[in-house]
Structure 1
Amino acid sequence: MTSAPPAGIPLGATPRNQWRVAAASADLVRTPPAPRPARFAAQPQDLAIDLARTAIVVIDMQNDFCHPDGWLASIGVDVAPARKPIAPLARLLPVLREQDVPVLWVNWGNRPDRLNLSPSLLHVYKPTGVGTGLGDALPGGARVLEAGSWSAGIVDELVPAPEDIHVAKYRMSGFWDTPLDSILRNLGVQTLLFAGVNADQCVLCTLQDANFLGYDCILLEDCSATTSPGYCMQATLYNTRQCFGFVATSEALAAGIQTC
Structure 2
Amino acid sequence: MKALIALHFQNDICHPDGLIPFAVDRSGPAPDLFLDRSRTLISRARDAGWLVAHVHIAFQLDYSDLLRNAPLFRAAGEFGALKRGTWGAAPMHGFEPAPGDVTLIHSCNNAFQGTGLEGILRERAVSHVAVAGLATQYSVEHTVRHAADLGYVVTMVRDCCGSANEAAAQASFAAMAMLARIVTLDEIEF
TM-score, length basis structure 2? 0.88
CA distance in 1, matches of 2:103, 2:158: 22
Partner of 1:231: 167
Q: Which residue of 2 aligns with 1:119?
A: 68
- Indicate the SS of the match to 1:189: coil
What are the Cα deviations for residues 97-122 of structure 1, in whole angstroms up to 9, with x where unaligned? 1221011111102122323223214x
- Tell me the SS of whatever aligns to 1:70: coil
Return the offset for 1:94. Answer: 2.1
Structure 2: gaps of 5 or more residues: none
Q: Distance in 1 between matches of 2:93 and 2:34?
A: 13
Q: Is the 8 A contact 1:86 1:158 kept in 2?
A: no
Residue 245 of structure 1 corresponds to: 180
> Equivalent pairs: percent with the same residue?
25
Instruction: Give, in whole Å, the separation in 2 of the partners of 1:144 and 1:83.
Output: 21
Distance 1:147 1:214, change over 3 A: same
Who is 2:46 aligned against?
Answer: 97
> Aligned equivalents of 1:225 and 1:83: distance in 2?
11
Which residue in the other structure is 1:34 paired with? none
Unaligned runs of 5+ in 1: 1-52, 127-132
Aligned residue for 2:140?
Answer: 203
CA drift at 1:82: 4.9
SS state at 1:211 partner: helix
After TM superposition, list the pairs within 5 Å mapping 1:62-211 onto structure 2: 62-73=10-21, 78-80=25-27, 82-121=31-70, 123-126=71-74, 133-135=75-77, 143-211=80-148
| CA drift at 1:155 | 1.1
Distance 2:103 2:171 in 1: 29
Cα distance in 2 for partners of 1:246, 1:174 equals: 18
For 1:93 and 1:78, the matched residues in 2 are separated by 21
Q: Measure, in 2, the Cα distance between the counterparts of 1:72 and 1:225.
A: 13
Alpha-carbon distance change, 214 to 68 in structure 1, aligned in 2, over 3 angstroms: same
> SS at the partner of 2:53?
strand
What per-residue deviation string (whole Å, max 9, x for no partner) do you get for residues 75-133 of structure 1?
A: 8x843455442111222322221221011111102122323223214x4354xxxxxx3
- Post-superposition Cα deviations, 1:31-54, rounded to whole Å, max 9, x if no partner, equal xxxxxxxxxxxxxxxxxxxxxx11
- Greater length-normalized contact order (CA 8 Å, ≥ 6 residues apart): 2
| One-letter amino acid matched to 1:190 | S
Task: State the Cα distance separating 1:164 from its structure 2 match.
Answer: 1.1
Change (3 A) 1:86 1:92: same
Distance 1:238 1:134 in 2: 28
Counterparts of residues 18-37 of structure 1 (less than 5 Å): none
**Deviation of the 1:231 alpha carbon:** 1.6
SS of the residue aligned with 1:171? coil
Contact 2:156 2:181 in 1 (8 A): yes
RMSD over equivalenced CA pairs, Å: 2.0
Instruction: Report the counterpart of residue 16 of structure 1 in structure 2.
Output: none
Contact 1:82 1:197 in 2 (8 A): no
TM-score normalised over the length of structure 1: 0.66
What's the CA shift string for 1:180-234, capped at 9, x where partnerless?
1111111111111011111111110111111111111100011112112x22111
